[in-house]
Amino acid sequence: MRRDETRAGGDLAGERDFRRLWAGTTVSRLGSAVSMVAPPVVAITVLDASAFQVALLSVIQAVTIVVVAFPRGGISNSGPNARS
């Protein structure tokens, strides 16, 4: 059997590359969820922030993504290895 063929049962969980992809995706999504939830929780429990302050913190998080991540993605996609 060639390496790129799946097993007879079609069991992707037995493929090493698939398991690594699945584990990496799981860890990434868990980290993203924690990073969205943790700052407001810390602001409320440790800093005794008001509802307005927590909302402002959430807005700042969203604006940061728009201002930093989106332009950075465009820059990285316009390099010499960019696909058309």
Mean of the pLDDT values across residues 13-38?
A: 91
Mean pLDDT for 3-22 is 73
| Strand residue runs (E) in the chain | none
pTM above 0.85, yes or no: no
Checking if the pLDDT of 9 tops 90, the result is no
Q: What does the pLDDT look like over 45-68, one tens digit per residue?
A: 999 999 999 999 999 988 988 888
> What is the per-residue pLDDT for 55?
94
pLDDT band at 44 (very low <50, low <70, confident <90, very high): very high
42 or 76, which is more confident: 42
Which residues are CB-contacts of 36 (< 8 A; sequence separation ≥ 6)? 61
